[in-house]
Amino acid sequence: MFFLAPIGIVAAYSFNALALPPSSPGFTTSAWRSFIHSSVYLRLFWKSVEMSLIVSALVVVVAFPLAYFLALSGTKRKYILLLVLIAPFLTSYLLRVLAWKVILGDQGVVNSFLAWTGARSPDHPISALLYSRFAVMLVLGYVWLPFVALPIFVSLESLDTRLLEAASDLGATRWQAFRRVTLPLTLPGIVAAFLFVFIPTVGEFITPSLVGGTSGYMYGNQIVDLFGTGFPDWETGSVLALFLLAVIAALTVVFSRFIQGRDAAPA
């Protein structure tokens, strides 16, 4: 009820079955048709997908060795280290994002350091560090890293280490054992971790509005703007929101079948 009813309301707005006064409601598919024919919205959607894919892939690549070390190194302090990894969650999301402004600004930590070392003139700081696509991807990666590390950690921890010993007994090198045993068995965890980042970041709007500037503007920002900036256009905003929901739902179905399929496959 609380999940489907709001979606139903948004769908009604997207077909103008509900409308903001002074407009009068009347079923039409015009907003959907303009969306499909609009290269602007679809291009922006693809830009956001591209940014999210890059962030998700990079974060998985960074998180995997961390989770691998924590789960398989046999250290007794692994849960303490895990706590350290998720410690940033103890502070506010906004505070963490804003802290990056202090680090990445033209007179921020990075540029001041470069100027101090003489690597860069103070009059010509690296401006692309903040208010750019790079800034959005960096901050999103930082924010979501623990979310990725956790599912990978869980799947690595549940790995039967006797399989690795068997592989080693049968003459496999460590790399071969990793590639043929560890990686396939932890793949569902990796895919889940990837989705954990991809799904929320593709519709992200807070981080790009704080550190994205004009070039880091994402699809989620456009939805927010359509609902409440300039002049409310809930019809088009609803179309964009539902399209995003549909794509995410489809991806989730595909990936969850993939994960279940692998789990159900005979060993």
Partner 1 sequence: MHTLNRRDLLKIAGLAGAAGVVGGPSAVANAARTALAAESGALQVLDWAGYGNDGGQAMFAQYVKQHPGNKPKFTYMTNEADALAKIQAGLKPDLFRPYVGWVEYFATSGLVQPWDTSLLTNFKHLNPFMVKAGQYAGKQYGIPDDWGLDAILYRTDKVKPKTNSWSLLYDERYKGKIAWFDDPVENFTIAGLLHGFKDPWNQSDAELAQSKAFLISKKHLVRTIWASETDLDQQFASGDVWIALAWPNDWVQMKAKKLPVVYMHPKEKPIAWVGMFMLLKGTPRPELAHAYVDAWSSAKSGKWLEDNYGYGHANTLAKPASSDLLKALQLTNPRAVALPNAYLDRNVPRRAVYAKAWDEVKAA
Least gap, CB of 21 to partner 1 (angstroms):
7
Strand (E) or helix (H) holding 174: helix 174-177
Tell me whether residue 106 or residue 157 sits nearer to partner 1 (CB atom). Answer: 106
Residues at the site binding partner 1, with contacts judged by CB under 8 A: 5-6, 9-10, 20-22, 40-41, 43-44, 101, 105-108, 127, 130-131, 209, 213-214, 217, 221-222, 225-234, 236
- How many CA atoms does the CB half-sphere of 60 hold within 13 Å? 21
Under a CB-based contact definition with an 8 Å cutoff, are residues 126 and 120 in contact?
yes
Tell me whether residue 41 or residue 153 sits nearer to partner 1 (CB atom). Answer: 41
Residue of 218, 207, 185 whose CA lies nearest to 50: 218
Least gap, CB of 182 to partner 1 (angstroms):
39
Q: Is 83 exposed, middle or buried (0-12, 13-18, 19+ CB in 10 A)?
A: exposed
Least gap, CB of 50 to partner 1 (angstroms):
15
Under a CB-based contact definition with an 8 Å cutoff, are residues 109 and 127 in contact?
no
Tell me whether residue 10 or residue 154 sits nearer to partner 1 (CB atom). Answer: 10
Least gap, CB of 33 to partner 1 (angstroms):
15
DSSP string covering 41-75? HHHHHHHHHHHHHHHHHHHHHHHHHHHHHHHHS--
Tokens of 199: 């799904």
For residue 132, CA distances in Å to 117, 188, 212, 222 come to: 24, 33, 5, 16
Tell me whether residue 38 or residue 161 sits nearer to partner 1 (CB atom). Answer: 38
Tell me whether residue 88 or residue 213 sits nearer to partner 1 (CB atom). Answer: 213
Least gap, CB of 116 to partner 1 (angstroms):
16
Tell me whether residue 157 or residue 225 sits nearer to partner 1 (CB atom). Answer: 225
Least gap, CB of 157 to partner 1 (angstroms):
33
